[in-house]
Amino acid sequence: MTGTRWTPCAALALLMLGGCAFMAEQTAPAKQASTQRTEAARQADALFWKTFHGGDYDGASKALEALKAAYLQSPTDAESAAHIGFLHVWRLAERARLAATAPSITDDAVLARRYFDEAVALNPGEPRYRGFQASMMLAEASIHQDEKLRRRGYYAMLDAVDAWPEFNLFTAGYVFSGQPADSPRFKEGLVMQWRTLDLCSESTVDRRNPDFAAYMKLQTTLGPKRVCWNSWIAPHNFEGFFLNMGDMLVKSGDWAMAQKIYANARLSSTYASWKFRPVLESRIERAQANVAAFNVPGPGAAGDAVMMGQARFACMACHQD
């Protein structure tokens, strides 16, 4: 029995068919973002923020159902797509809350990326969406051990950093905080946190004595630097930033510098009402002891056992009222 013999005409026909498929896809009209939001979308957003700011992790499924129903009514709504993505990220990031973590938790990474793909396509000028899209590329790459996707996600993240460094330097560094302390990506992520401080302070923060008190007068709710401070979206963003950066310094072994960085969180006017204030105070006391604990891979349960990025409050340290 002989194999199939391809004539020049047959080969040309296949090439033409392939070309037709490519041309058909490339010339298809792009989705156009909605200019008005539906009532269902507005109601779903209200539930989203109530659930998210309330730290109601168990309520995320109900909020997702509402958002996805609204999205099905209007699948050109970038904000609905992004909020769906955020909730899937939250479920994945704070999986330490679960009594047992099922392998299917990885589905949240896949779904988050898919919805952020839509959000970015509909609103490509929103760098926050691009940063989360890149972070979910990296999460999927880790799940599937896909080196091509890992590289694509890394460079997508760098593009997001260029688009809004004050926001996405933290995003990137937070993602990289889960890497081994001696890895190039972890070290790069720590440098990114210092760069964030420099941008937010409009100065070069002293690497020996990083006291942020002199820069508190720069607080703003306007422009790109608004993400350096607390806001309605992230009521304790300032405190959460220093909690994470301190954790990264502890993991790197520089626990004495971490204590100085942690202490900056106390400068916030909302520090006294911050739910995770006891966690940070404990971090300062246990900084040296936590060097070993933070270098143990894998998610943990609570408190000083794990870094912020692996804890029950991975998102809530910044976002819970």
User: Is residue 172 within 8 Å of residue 192, measured between CB atoms?
Assistant: yes
List, as one string, the DSSP characters of 211-255: --GGGGGG--SSSGGGGGS--SSSTTHHHHHHHHHHHHHHHHT-H
From-to residues of CATH 1.25.40.10 in the chain: 38-94+106-163
Is the per-residue pLDDT at 292 higher than 80?
yes
Question: Tens of pLDDT along 74-94?
Answer: 999 999 999 999 999 999 999
Is the per-residue pLDDT at 15 higher than 70?
no
Q: Between helices 184-201 and 165-176, what is the axis angle to 10°?
A: 150
**What pLDDT is attached to residue 219?**
98
User: Is residue 204 within 8 Å of residue 198, measured between CB atoms?
Assistant: yes
- Tell me how many helices (H) and strands (E) the chain has: 14, 0
Residue 14's pLDDT band (boundaries 50, 70, 90)? low
Residue 299's pLDDT band (boundaries 50, 70, 90)? low
**What pLDDT is attached to residue 3?**
53
How far is residue 74's CA from residue 66's CA, in Å, rounded to a whole number?
13
State the average pLDDT over residues 270-290. Answer: 97
Token reading at 211 = 């006291």
Residue 250's pLDDT band (boundaries 50, 70, 90)? very high
State the average pLDDT over residues 264-276. Answer: 98
**What pLDDT is attached to residue 21?**
73
**What pLDDT is attached to residue 301?**
43
**What pLDDT is attached to residue 44?**
98
**What pLDDT is attached to residue 65?**
98
Residue 297's pLDDT band (boundaries 50, 70, 90)? confident
Token reading at 176 = 């990289």
Question: Tens of pLDDT along 46-78?
Answer: 999 999 999 999 999 999 999 999 999 999 999
How far is residue 117's CA from residue 110's CA, in Å, rounded to a whole number?
11
State the average pLDDT over residues 19-36. Answer: 79
**What pLDDT is attached to residue 17?**
67
Mean pLDDT of the chain: 93
What single DSSP character describes residue 154? H
User: Is residue 189 within 8 Å of residue 177, measured between CB atoms?
Assistant: yes
How far is residue 189's CA from residue 154's CA, in Å, rounded to a whole number?
12
| CATH 1.25.40.10 holds for 38-94+106-163 | yes
